[in-house]
A and B are shown apart, each in its own frame.
Chain A
């Protein structure tokens, strides 16, 4: 019998798990494009004060409704034209990115915290906790979200932070449902049972064993909810019950430009396209992560 310690240590052949993950991540075209796009948008938002040629709130009534560069009457002075109050559209769009990203991130964080806590609890403890969470979620789902949000904002008064709070405190349902399902799946697995046998505290098990394994699902839902929050804020602001003027929320810009849209189409086209591109990038990110995190590496 050979001494185990005398045996040579086998060198693992082939790429390490980390290298494999990298290969999968970079190999997924949609993921790479969306990450690049999002990074670009975040950078633009962060550097808005530097990149914007004008103050987004500065009005110049002598220079109203100048079309963007590619129109006949366009000029380099205002690359994306000006709106009905003479404010530079490029600057407003750049600052508008900040608003959308802020909304997306904060609503995602708040609703994510609430929903994930509920979902983890329901999935882990089961029984009455589960019944209570499912019941609460069903009740929440039954309420028409946009109407309730509109009503609350109308009562409290519209502003960026009110929108963030209202949406954050109401949009946790998908987090709860998905996290609950994912937790239930993971809960029955052996390493959870092992941790319980060892006597690990419940909190430790949930945070240490379950959460890391449901992380991919969490990230995917987070992207869906962020995108949804951005579109919801745009809709609320469009209706006048969200972010208030003169803030350059893209939804608000579309509302303001609506009156002039027949002759100055860019007033709604530019912020509308910006919204679509941002939401598209976030959705592609979510899809990409889901593909990569799927068992078997998704599209190989």
Chain B
């Protein structure tokens, strides 16, 4: 297990470095940042000034190395818009987004895995078809539209949950539902397909032959083996949820990283945008690494490969 872990760790570091470079490049090379910062009607002299002040006149490689060097020391620079330390800003907003992403994932798993199991136990029945129909509908509904509908329902018809702000735990309920429902269908399909395949295995027949209870067979013997692809997907989806929370946070006025990203992007606040994109990428790499390790623990056969 140790050798496997070290190999995966090495790969993760390489990817992280590459990602930081790629993000840096994309953000700076997609257009002339100085011109955009200067705004409309700016004179050439102003643009040159901006370019010099923010060090945008140096070669990209130099800019990148400079930034990486500072980042290694925890210096992410100053926010152009908020005029405060970037790291402090990001650190402040990260927990909110992390909680939102986590709750969304838990919500998605809580509805998709049981539904997937039920569908797998009654393949091609009306239950199965209903679950699949639900999955198909869920994937077609735009999440910001669903979010607005939730706000309408809970602000006007059922005022039991708050629809904006981020003060209490209750504030996370609706945003988690609005963000999580969209990633539930892939999990449901995966759970269903995985369970169907596993339930047809010989070792499940052995478990039945031992006279074990239905619950034990499904939950202990079958589910563990069907979980491997789900864990892998969960890591990817968590990364996606973290990065994709911008719309939901904006709609629900949830003061997290996504909303911060939206604000900084709108105001072309490069240091903050850079920091957020890089941070989220690193988290993604870490999550997939974690998923690989969990899977190797779940299925001992993976450790060899």
Stretch at the interface among A103-111, A114-122, A135-143, A195-203: A135-143
Check A151 against B277 for contact (C-beta < 8 Å): yes
A148 at the B interface (CB under 8 A): yes
Check B15 against A142 for contact (C-beta < 8 Å): yes
CB distance from B143 to the nearest CB of A (A): 8
Check B30 against A156 for contact (C-beta < 8 Å): yes
Instruction: Chain A residues near B14: list those with CB within 8 A.
Output: 135
Instruction: Chain B residues near A138: list those with CB within 8 A.
Output: 15
Check B280 against A147 for contact (C-beta < 8 Å): yes
Q: How far apart are the CA atoms of A285 and B143 in the complex, in Å?
A: 21
B136 at the A interface (CB under 8 A): yes
Please classify how large the interface on chain A is, using the bins under 10, 10 to 19, 20 to 34, 35 or more.
35 or more
Instruction: Chain B residues near A142: list those with CB within 8 A.
Output: 15-16, 19, 239, 281, 284-285
B144 at the A interface (CB under 8 A): yes
Q: How far apart are the CA atoms of A127 and B152 in the complex, in Å?
A: 54
Give the dominant DSSP class at A's interface: helix
Check A283 against B277 for contact (C-beta < 8 Å): no
Please judge, given known A-B contacts A144-B243, A239-B246, A276-B141, whether A284 and B136 are in contact too, CB under 8 Å.
yes
Contact with B along A122-146 (1 / 0, CB 8 A): 0000000000000100111111111
CB distance from B47 to the nearest CB of A (A): 14
- In the complex, how many residues of chain B place their beta carbon closer than 8 angstroms to a beta carbon of chain A? 48
Please judge, given known A-B contacts A151-B265, A235-B247, A265-B152, whether A144 and B277 are in contact too, CB under 8 Å.
yes
**B window 220-278: CB within 8 A of A:** 236, 239-240, 242-244, 246-247, 250, 261-262, 265-266, 268, 273, 276-277
Give the dominant DSSP class at B's interface: helix
Whose C-beta in chain A lies nearest to the C-beta of B124?
A: A299
**A window 238-260: CB within 8 A of B:** 238-241, 251, 254, 258
Q: How far apart are the CA atoms of A211 and B145 in the complex, in Å?
A: 38
Q: How far apart are the CA atoms of A287 and B139 in the complex, in Å?
A: 12
Instruction: Chain A residues near B261: list those with CB within 8 A.
Output: 147, 150
B71 at the A interface (CB under 8 A): no
A52 at the B interface (CB under 8 A): no
Whose C-beta in chain B lies nearest to the C-beta of A231?
A: B142
Residues in chain A within 8 A of chain B (CB atoms): 135, 138-148, 150-152, 154-157, 227, 231, 234-235, 238-241, 251, 254, 258, 261-262, 265, 268, 272, 275-277, 279-280, 283-284, 287
A-B contact pairs, 23 of them (CB 8 A): A135-B15, A135-B18, A143-B19, A143-B243, A144-B239, A147-B243, A147-B265, A147-B276, A148-B27, A150-B261, A150-B265, A154-B36, A155-B30, A239-B247, A251-B142, A262-B155, A262-B156, A279-B139, A279-B140, A279-B142, A280-B136, A280-B137, A280-B140
